[in-house]
Amino acid sequence: MNTGTGRVVASIILVVAAYGAAHHAPGTGTVQAAARQDPRTDPPAPPATPAPPTGPATPEARPTASRDASSGADATTGGRPVDCRRAKCVALTFDDGPGPYTGTLLRHLAAHHAHATFFVVGQNVAARPSVLRGIAAAGHEIGNHTWSHPDLTKLPMAAVRAQVARCDRAVRSAAGISPALVRPPYGALDTTVRAAVRRPLVLWSVDTLDWLHRDSARVARVAIKGARPGAVILFHDIHPTTVRAIPKVLKALSREGYTFVTVSRLFGGHPPRLVYGAPHQL
């Protein structure tokens, strides 16, 4: 890790620490101002999995009773949902899939009774609907990572809305659920994006930079070192090196007493409007 990255990580951890005190009370801890995220913290390339035909989305009927994606089965203690105000919780998040390695990742997570959050790209959901169903069936949370992974700050508001809506439709069509959370590609957001999305925008507190360093040992080391109670760790399950790193992360953090929960569980079902940001955004 170079010193620049170290400094960023250190400052973000401070933000998490400051934020942790407030994040359990719904309505508090909401971040009011948001600026462009440093683009170095997210992959520069769009998703690697093949895209399906990109014609206009077929309008679909809204499900009459859409299951709340945030309330799926989660880590339990003695049959009760884990309370992250008391337990040591960490949220592992996987972006840009589903992809060819997501099935393997699901097996790793199941082996450790871990739950995670998948911020999926709509066109990859359309290409692999059964993988998306497998994610949901295992009790993981599914978040919206737009239809085709553009930088939303470069789009007009109507196009931002269309990107989010089209991903929603793909997820509903595949698994019958509606994502409660959105993660903007590259962490890029501004006031237009926030006004267009009107859902919690989930960033992260630990960036493994797994898209840059395709090295399982390094990915595992950064994740394990960066974990704190309440941390949101960013991975990309489209990289085999990342998926190979996960058993080590799960083993090490389990030994440290962590419970692996979805982002919604981490916030007790009440995530603030913006979850985690770089210090300059606060």
65 burial class (0-12, 13-18, 19+ CB within 10 angstroms)?
A: exposed
Residue length, the chain? 282
**For Ni ion, the closer CB: 196 or 202:** 202
Which range binds Ni ion by CB under 5 A, 31-39, 66-74, 88-96, 133-141? 88-96
168 binds Ni ion (CB under 5 A): no
Strands (E) in 36-125, as ranges, are 67-68, 76-77, 80-81, 88-95, 116-120
185 binds Ni ion (CB under 5 A): yes
Q: Which of 204, 203, 212, 166 is nearest to 182 (CA)?
A: 203
Is it true that the peptide bond before 98 is cis, omega within 30 degrees of 0?
A: yes
Which of 74, 95, 151, 168 is catalytic? The answer is 95
**For Ni ion, the closer CB: 118 or 258:** 118
Output the CA–CA distances (angstroms, integers) from residue 217 to 43, 221, 246, in the order listed: 19, 6, 10
Report the C-alpha gap between 253 and 275 in whole angstroms.
22
The token duo for 83 is: 């309370």
Minimum CB separation of residue 121 from Ni ion in Å reads 7
141 binds Ni ion (CB under 5 A): no
Minimum CB separation of residue 145 from Ni ion in Å reads 6
184 binds Ni ion (CB under 5 A): no
Among 74, 95, 141, 207, binds Ni ion (CB under 5 A): 95
C-beta contacts of 55-64 below 8 A and 24+ residues apart: 57/147, 57/166, 57/169, 60/169, 60/172, 60/173, 62/172, 63/172, 63/176, 63/178
**For Ni ion, the closer CB: 95 or 168:** 95
Which of 151, 236, 237, 239 is catalytic? The answer is 236
Q: Which of residues 1-40 bind Ni ion (CB under 5 A)?
A: none
Active site residue 215: no
96 binds Ni ion (CB under 5 A): yes
Which range binds Ni ion by CB under 5 A, 72-80, 94-102, 104-112, 170-178? 94-102
**For Ni ion, the closer CB: 95 or 151:** 95
Active site residue 95: yes
**For Ni ion, the closer CB: 31 or 152:** 152
Q: Which of 115, 184, 120 is nearest to 153 (CA)?
A: 184
Q: Which residues bind Ni ion (CB under 5 A)?
A: 95-96, 185
Active-site positions read 95, 236
